[in-house]
Amino acid sequence: MTPLKKYAAVLGMTVLTVASYHGLAAAQDVMGNGKDLVMFVMTSSNVYGANQIKGAKEEAEKLGFNLTVFEHQFSQPEQDQQVQQYIASGAKPAAVIFWPWVADAAINDVRQLSQLAPVIQLTQEPNEQSWPYVQAYSGANQILIGKTVGEMLLKARDAAKAAGATFKSPEGNLLIFQHPEGEKTGTERYKGMMEATKDAPFNEIHLEYGANSPETGYEIGSQVIPKYKGQFDFLWVSNQQAANGVIRALKENGIEPGKDVWIVSGDCSGSLDAVKDGETFGTGIQPAAVEGALAVRTAAKFIANGKIEGDVIQLEVTPDAPAIDPGPPAKYNYMPHAPAIGAEGIANTKIWGYTADEICDS
């Protein structure tokens, strides 16, 4: 059984790879022919947000859709207002692509949007409250990302042992800088990390919420690192943007990343210099542009077929974008995700035509 099928078996899902998916339904025309799509996402001032929007716009243009994008400044109330204004405008989109900033607080938004058009939820998987109003999920497989983190942490521990490191505990002490509390992204990734390391766990000494940018990474790191100085061997940081801030705080406290502590970041949004020079052991290459493009593809496939088919489609890592499958989307449509360890890992990773640098640091 492949790792993907094992993952699906745990969740009681049917997994369809792209190859096996062809032919399940009569091929429909996925071209937009001028139809309107609307997308609600976070601001393009964030590297990940900018790349996500870029990928969505490029794919919409290829498929012949007119895409309108609403960006909020990390604010659910602002997103609520944007949704209300859009509904009041009388617009009639063919589909809605919606990333709820705070899932529980956005239920009314997704409910009202579903009365306009089919809703494809992006980045944060729908919960029990929102699924009645959502047709399909498209985006990151957060549990898979967490498992990738766990696998890189295990490799970091092996590398540290090979370098002659002495740990603070037999397993190695782990300090975690997590996404903001309550954000499903962090919760799901944590599950995946624990699954990957269950046979050789780390000694988790503390989990701190909130680090999600260079600024919050530095601010929170400056408070937490002095408190736990001398007690940790490994760090898991939510993303590379935050890790870059944490690294600054480590150095200010006389701790040398890559020598005194080994760092893994969950995804690569932000400068990759720290990965290339060894200050960060490894990161996950989460291609935001691919996530945006996949959301548009998922919307196009649902518009063309009017239904979903199957539980999961997990796209594999390929250097070039596969041709769009004209059949129905699955309930869960997961983008590819790859680990990258050190400069070599960065140099050798390419997904859907994008290099790691283009994915993470543009």
Query: How does DSSP assign 143-205, residue by residue?
Result: HHHHHHHHHHHHHHHHHHHHTT---SSSS-EEEEEESSTT-HHHHHHHHHHHHHHTTS--EEE
- pLDDT one-digit tens code per residue, 112-166: 999 999 999 999 899 999 999 999 999 999 999 999 999 999 999 999 999 999 9
Which CATH number applies to 3-140+287-337? 3.40.50.2300
Q: What is the mean pLDDT of residues 192-214?
A: 97
Amino acid at 226: P
What pLDDT score does 362 carry?
61
Look up the CATH superfamily of 143-285.
Response regulator (3.40.50.2300)
Rounded to whole angstroms, how far apart are CA atoms 202 and 206? 12
Q: Which helix (H) or strand (E) holds 39?
A: strand 36-42
Q: Taking the domains of the chain in order of start, what are their residue ranges?
A: 3-140+287-337, 143-285
User: Looking at the DSSP assignment, which residues form a beta bridge with residue 121?
Assistant: 98, 137
What pLDDT score does 46 carry?
82
Q: Residue 113: name the closest of 55, 56, 184, 39 by CA.
A: 39
| The domains spanning 3-140+287-337 and 143-285 adopt the same CATH topology | yes
Question: What's the angle, vertex CA 140, arms to CA 362 and CA 354, rounded to 5?
Answer: 35
Q: Which two tokens stand for residue 228?
A: 């736990």
φ/ψ of 282, rounded to 5, equals -160, 160
Task: Count CA atoms within 13 Å of residue 79 on its CB side.
Answer: 25
